[in-house]
A and B are shown apart, each in its own frame.
Chain A
Amino acid sequence: MSEAVIRALTVPTGPRPVPSPDDARRVTDPLTDRDFQLALWMLYELHYRGFDGIDPDLEWDPLLIAARRPMEAALEAAVRELAAVDDEPTTAKEVATALTRMTNGCGAGELATFLGRHATKTQFREYLAERAVYHLHESDPQSFVLPRIDGPAKVALAELQYDEYGSGRPDRIHAGLYAKALTSLGIPTDLLTHVDRAEATTLASVNTMSLFALNRRLRGAALGHLAAFEATSSLPCAAIAEGARRLGLPPEVADYYDEHVEADAVHEQLAIRDICGALVENEPALGADVVLGAAACLAVDGLAADVLLDRWRDLRSAAS
């Protein structure tokens, strides 16, 4: 499917073959299928930065949009299956309780703990390169939600995004801090380099955010996802910052994670209470989607973390 998308992007005149609905339906496990995720990632990327040398008009090319729909349906079905939840909070208080319950026990998590205590420099670099697929575009998906909501939830999301985008300081944009961390280690900051090598599950993690953010219908899920992401970030970031110091990596690396220990302790509260709480207060029917989004974040990102841990575990058992 990714080959077909590349062809459709690079031969943009007249009718072109694009991935068919059958192609999308034939994918048995969308979350772990790299070809599928890569194809969808490219289609989504047209809405973010696009690609050098690719016609920007293709963003709304009917053929590509038509090809994307069944792929999105396949991803959404897989995410819903993995993240099955039957909670339907309908008030701000119930939403806060549900989100807090879902995220409170997560701690630093196995992956961050491993990076903090045991990872080698090579493994740490691999982690940074893998996660670059998200962090080089950090917070951009959620910006698509701003014009789709109103009132206090919108104000709170704008406040959170302002902080993600550097709180008025271009040199503190989070995506930029991540790029500085990569550069300090001689890792390229060109997104495509990392996408080319990324695991299916890493691409799935980013595509899930785009799925929620680019479909207005799923705005509740986008914000629930954001809440779970922020609420499970501070403690892992503290562990990863420790790992960077343990390995004697340049200060730019720990700087990115230290910034997130403090920032995400704030963002968690904003996202759970002021964003998701206010959203559901305003649109009670979105409560179930908020919980779905949060569960999707935990499940899909958990899958992506397990893939990395397994890779390193296999390496260790092969070496011993």
Chain B
Amino acid sequence: MTGDGRVTVQLCPGGPMLLRGADEVVADDGTVHPVGRPVVALCRCRRSQRMPWCDNSHKARRTDRADRADRPERSDEN
């Protein structure tokens, strides 16, 4: 994908792993996911709802908990 056949991996602190130049990703269960963009983010926190891709759940959990602790749900407001 990078044109020169180079595949690289970049680890993001507290977040996913960026993978450049791959053609496919084989998940835990053997499913083959074709790579459709120049860089993909692979989940490292195992909380993603869209494995093997990062869906930013690595942040959401902390936020969700904080939200629940100090604010009622919107549905409770009416």
Contacts and interface: CB of A to CB of B under 8 A. Distances in A.
B22 interface: no
Given A118-B74, A269-B16, A273-B12, A262 B55 contact: yes
Interface string A102-140: 001111101001100110000000000000000000000
Interface residues of A, number: 34
B53 A265 contact: yes
A64 interface: no
B37 interface: yes
Given A110-B74, A113-B74, A266 B18 contact: yes
A107 B64 contact: yes
Contacts of A100: 14
B50 interface: yes
B78 interface: yes
A49 interface: no
B50 A118 contact: no
Contacts, number: 78
Given A117-B75, A266-B18, A167 B37 contact: yes
Interface string A263-282: 11110111001000000000
A268 B39 CA distance: 12
A316 B77 CA distance: 11
Nearest to A163: B37
Nearest to A270: B39
A118 B55 contact: no
B16 A235 contact: no
Contacts of A270: 18, 39
A294 to B, nearest CB: 16
Contacts of B62: 104
Given A163-B38, A167-B38, A268 B56 contact: yes
Nearest to A168: B38
Given A238-B56, A261-B56, A266-B54, 7 more contacts: A104-B62, A107-B59, A261-B50, A262-B40, A262-B41, A265-B16, A270-B39
7 contacts: A107-B67, A108-B60, A113-B74, A167-B37, A167-B38, A234-B56, A266-B39
Interface of A: 96, 100, 104-108, 110, 113-114, 117-118, 159, 162-163, 167, 169, 172, 234-235, 238, 261-266, 268-270, 273, 316-317, 320
